[in-house]
């Protein structure tokens, strides 16, 4: 069914019609900095004057509220609508973390519930007119990224985050083909934690062999968006809830992140 007279579907299409670009940030596995990259992409775009929505669909470990110092905030919930939580004039945020009473609580929902929830987060949240909706997905190629891409439709583009090590790169290969199989396109690959910014001398040193993401991008015929060094300030700003791009844009790492958003 094309859902022409399904009111839910009409509502979804109306919401999607007001969002210009949909970016789904994914990774083959956890701990590669996907949430950090997704959050900083959203912040950087908003600082560039774009209207941005950031949607955290990681139902098992939503980290966006912490990264943006929004923990404990509550979206305003009305009749079948939710207002996203504003981070700034240009950036509004929705995360399951806002709805969970306690962040230590294990979420053990089954696939269909998660799928319904993601759809609701897109359809029932009053995003308004957006230049970008950036979605932070849980790692892997499971229910959440699938349902996110299907809900957002074929114009949504995947951004895949990896680290330089070989294992991570293999996982990414899977993510790239997954996006294609769902019928969407990969906007590009980001190699995170690529080289180390020395806190003493400021130079970038390679720890693991860098360039895996770039090789893979070439091989898969997708764009390489750039590499972001391992920078202690990235972790610190995440822990403190001041996203890196808000405070350290004029650094080697900040410029690397700017480069990543340039093709968006």
Q: How far apart are CA 227 and CA 230, in angstroms?
A: 10
E strand map for 50-142: 52-56, 76-77, 82-83, 85-86, 91-95, 130-136
Interaction between residue 78 and ligand ADP (CB under 6 A): no
Interaction between residue 40 and ligand ADP (CB under 6 A): no
Q: Is 69 annotated as a binding residue?
A: no
Q: Is 32 annotated as a binding residue?
A: yes
Return the half-sphere exposure (C-beta side, CA atoms, 13 A cut-off) of residue 53. 27
Q: How far apart are CA 194 and CA 96, in angstroms?
A: 30
Interaction between residue 56 and ligand ADP (CB under 6 A): no
Residues contacting 9, CB < 8 A, separation 6+: 3
Interaction between residue 35 and ligand ADP (CB under 6 A): yes
User: Could you tell me how many residues of this chain bind ligand ADP (CB under 6 A)?
Assistant: 17
E strand map for 65-122: 76-77, 82-83, 85-86, 91-95
Q: Is 195 annotated as a binding residue?
A: no
Write out the two tokens for 104: 């230590």
- Residue 25 near residue 161, CB atoms below 8 Å: yes
- Residue 212 near residue 171, CB atoms below 8 Å: no
Q: Is 35 annotated as a binding residue?
A: yes
Instruction: For the segment 170-199, give every residue that binds ligand ADP (CB under 6 A).
Output: 192-193
Instruction: For the segment 122-141, give every residue that binds ligand ADP (CB under 6 A).
Output: none
Residues in contact with ligand ADP, shown as a per-residue x/- string from 200 to 239 under the rule CB under 6 A? ----------------------------x-xx--xx--x-
Contact residue for ligand ADP among 3, 31, 128, 142 (CB under 6 A): 31
Q: Is 111 annotated as a binding residue?
A: no
Contact residue for ligand ADP among 9, 11, 30, 109 (CB under 6 A): 30
E strand map for 96-223: 130-136, 157-162, 185-197, 204-205
Q: Is 57 annotated as a binding residue?
A: no
Name the residue nearer to ligand ADP (CB basis): 12 or 187.
187
Q: Is 22 annotated as a binding residue?
A: no
Binding residues: 28-35
Binding positions for ligand ADP, rule: CB under 6 A = 27, 30-36, 63, 192-193, 228, 230-231, 234-235, 238
Binding residues for ATP: 28-35
């Amino acid at each position: 069914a094309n859902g022409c007279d399904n009111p839910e579907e009409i509502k979804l299409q109306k919401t999607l019609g007001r969002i210009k670009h949909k970016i789904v940030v994914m990774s083959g596995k956890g701990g590669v900095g996907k949430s950090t990259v997704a959050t900083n992409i959203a912040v950087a775009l908003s600082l560039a004057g774009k209207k941005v929505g950031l949607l955290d669909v990681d139902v098992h470990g939503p980290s966006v509220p912490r990264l943006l110092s929004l923990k404990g905030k509550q979206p305003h919930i009305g009749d079948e609508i939710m207002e996203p939580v504003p981070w700034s004039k240009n950036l509004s945020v929705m995360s399951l973390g806002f709805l969970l009473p306690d962040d230590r609580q294990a979420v053990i929902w089954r696939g269909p519930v998660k799928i319904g929830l993601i759809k609701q987060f897109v359809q029932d949240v009053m995003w308004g007119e957006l230049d970008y909706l950036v979605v932070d997905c849980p790692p892997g190629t499971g229910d959440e990224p699938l349902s996110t891409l299907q809900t957002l439709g074929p114009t949504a583009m995947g951004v895949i985050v990896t680290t330089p090590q070989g294992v991570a790169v293999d996982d990414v290969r899977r993510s790239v083909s997954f996006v294609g199989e769902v019928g969407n396109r990969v906007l590009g690959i980001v190699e995170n934690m690529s080289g180390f910014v020395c806190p003493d001398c400021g130079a970038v040193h390679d720890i693991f062999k860098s360039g895996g993401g770039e090789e893979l991008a070439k091989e898969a015929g997708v764009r390489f968006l750039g590499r972001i060094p391992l920078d202690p300030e990235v972790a610190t700003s995440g822990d403190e809830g001041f996203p890196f791009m808000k405070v350290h844009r004029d650094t080697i790492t900040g410029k690397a992140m700017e480069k990543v958003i340039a093709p968006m």
